[in-house]
Amino acid sequence: MPTVAELVRLLTEAGFQLREHRKRHDLYEDATGRRIMIPRHWKQEMGTGLFHKILRDAGLKP
């Protein structure tokens, strides 16, 4: 299962930057204004469905 750290690495490579550091989630935004909310549990594994949904929302997966 993928981790949050792997997801953040993929997003930053795609041009997303950290905009807000909240209590339980971080907000990432790209140059076009697309915003993605990521849970802050860096070392924990996340479900594959959630991982792929975030990638789709970010436009990194068809």
Bigger pLDDT: 58 or 41? 58
Total number of domains constituting the chain:
1
37 lies in a domain? yes
28 lies in a domain? yes
Within 13 Å and on the Cβ side, how many CA atoms surround 37? 4
pLDDT in tens, 20-50: 998 899 999 999 999 999 988 877 888 999 9
Give me the domain span that covers residue 16.
4-57
pLDDT at residue number 23? 87
Q: What tokens appear for 48 in the block? A: 């594959």
22 lies in a domain? yes
**Residue 50's CATH number:** 3.30.920.30
pTM: 0.86
pLDDT at residue number 34? 94
% of the chain beyond a pLDDT of 90: 76
62 lies in a domain? no
